[in-house]
Each structure stands twice: as C-alpha cells, then as structure tokens.
Structure 1
C-alpha cells in the first residue's frame, strides 16, 4: 500500500508524528497552521505495529530510531498532508541537513473493535547517528513522548546561535553523561 495518494491532482502523504509535532507540543503550531488551509488533516491516534526505539536526544528532542523489534510500540498521531505541507515538515525536521529521514512505517489505530492497519511515513533519527544514540542511552526508550519529556524541549530560538543540531548530537554522543549537555 502506498503512503501517498493522488485525488484530483492533490497528492497527499500519511505522516505519523510522535513528538513535538503532536497536539499540545511546541511544534504543533506548524500542523495547526497547515490545517487551516486543509494542507494537514488529523486522522486520529495510532500506534506503530512493530516496536521501535523512541529516545530523548539533546535539547529534549525526540528521535524515533529505525531498529524494528527494539524499544516499544510507539503512540502518536496520524496526519494526511499535502505536498506543500510535506515540504514544510521536511524543512522543520532537517531532512536536507541529515537530522531526520522520512521512512515507511506501519501503524494501527488505537480504536477497539475496528483496528485499521496502514502504511505511512514517519521521521526517524538519521541513520548516521540513530543506532549510536540508542546504544548511548543504554537502549532504554519510551512508548510515548509525553508532557514530562516535552518540558525538556529547547525551542530553536532558545538554542546557542553558533551551534547546529548536529553539533549538539556530536556532544551528546561523546559525553559520559549525555543528558548533562541539555
């Protein structure tokens, strides 16, 4: 099953979000703004079919790591997004800068009695550091990014001007106590 559809020349992609893009979290403003023009439509709460590591990285940033069978089944939200919205999300997630990569993922609704299994896409921590990050934190992840993790998130405007996210990731991975750098 494809993660995209083309209805009346309007290409959409199903995107699973599990962290700061969820409702009530700091980056949800982007999806909320895109929803006013129907470029992002909330589809419901879903959970990954397989277990994956979901970790809290530097600056309180959540990363889903592409190691199926490790971690937990992750809870999140599903959105149907336009091509325009997908470009905005890719930009926020730093696809071109190697922060995340958008990959296929199977999710299922959390509704009882009528589960719906679908192939979607999600933003995974980039393979250049994802597995190393999972090992660095002792292979202990979470099943859901919640308020207590969200409180640790450092917004872009509050970060050091001269440091990139990749700089923070390098320090995180090289530290004896990676969470002391937050």
Structure 2
C-alpha cells in the first residue's frame, strides 16, 4: 500500500469495521484471509483505502485474483462516525476459504494486528518454486 500511496494511486481513508461478522484467519506463511461466510467470526476491523483503477489492478495482481488466491467482493463497512459505506474487500478464494475456516477451528480474529504481522513471511522470503495453492491445500488437510 505504501508504494500505491507514494505513487498517487491510493489514499488511506481511515479505520473501518465490517457491518456483518466474517471469519478472519491466518493461513500458511502467516497470511491473513477474510472468509466469505457471513455471520460467522467477528466484525472485522481494518484500514480502508480509496484506490484508483491503476492501483486496483496492481492490488488484484498482488492478491492473485487471476490465479485463485483471493476474490474481491462487496462488503459494507462502518467508520468511527457511524457512516455505513459500500466497499470491497479481498476474501479467500471460494475454492479453499471454508476449508481454511474449518482447519482453524472456526475461531476467527477481529483484526490482523501488528503482533500477528510479525509471523507474516514476505513472498521473497518463502521457499522458491512453491505452488502456493498446494501449500494452502496442505495447510487445510494437514494443519500446517
């Protein structure tokens, strides 16, 4: 996001919370996943950004939309002032989202905290030549 902001493609709007509850879990490499199961989990807190078309394309590439890592879906969020805003969020792809939720014991997080982010492994620090979707399937079936 820092690169998008510095390039003029995104602006931080503020802290928002989902109107509905959704599961938020951490998967392989400490990566957070919002799961599209409405009413499960918690109302999830996070940052909202206003992103232009160029920035959105870059985010879609980063989040692996075309290769089935995430899906960008509509979600309603509410800010500190109580305003309800129609937005979009990146959810775990439907092919594995529910399985990841079950693997995590159907216990979700309210937000991806700075403490949790310390467990996140940047892409360049992960083992090379890995099939990330296979890593997710292994995580779901083996718990790691």
**TM-score for the superposition, normalised by structure 2:** 0.96
Is 2:30 the partner of 1:60? yes
Number of residues paired by the alignment? 144
Deviations 1:42-75 (A, max 9, x none): 1110000000000011110000000010000000
Query: Which runs of 5 or more residues in structure 2 are unaligned?
Result: none
SS class of match (1:50) = strand
Q: Of 112, 119, 123, which residue of structure 1 is paired with 2:86? A: 119
What CA distance in whole angstroms lies between the structure 2 residues aligned with 1:140 and 1:116?
A: 28
Is 2:20 the partner of 1:39? no
Deviations 1:68-117 (A, max 9, x none): 100000000111101000000000000011000000000000x2xx3110
What CA distance in whole angstroms lies between the structure 1 residues aligned with 2:64 and 2:43?
A: 24
Q: Of 19, 37, 48, which residue of structure 2 is paired with 1:49? A: 19
Q: Residue 11 of structure 1 aligns with which residue? A: none
Q: CA deviation at 1:33?
A: 1.6
Q: Residue 46 of structure 2 aligns with which residue? A: 76
Moved more, 63-72 or 160-169: 160-169
SS class of match (2:138) = helix
Q: Residue 105 of structure 2 aligns with which residue? A: 138
Q: CA deviation at 1:144?
A: 0.7
Is 2:77 the partner of 1:107? yes
**TM-score for the superposition, normalised by structure 1:** 0.77
What CA distance in whole angstroms lies between the structure 2 residues aligned with 1:159 and 1:141?
A: 24
Q: Residue 174 of structure 1 aligns with which residue? A: 141
What CA distance in whole angstroms lies between the structure 2 residues aligned with 1:154 and 1:38?
A: 27
Q: Residue 23 of structure 1 aligns with which residue? A: none
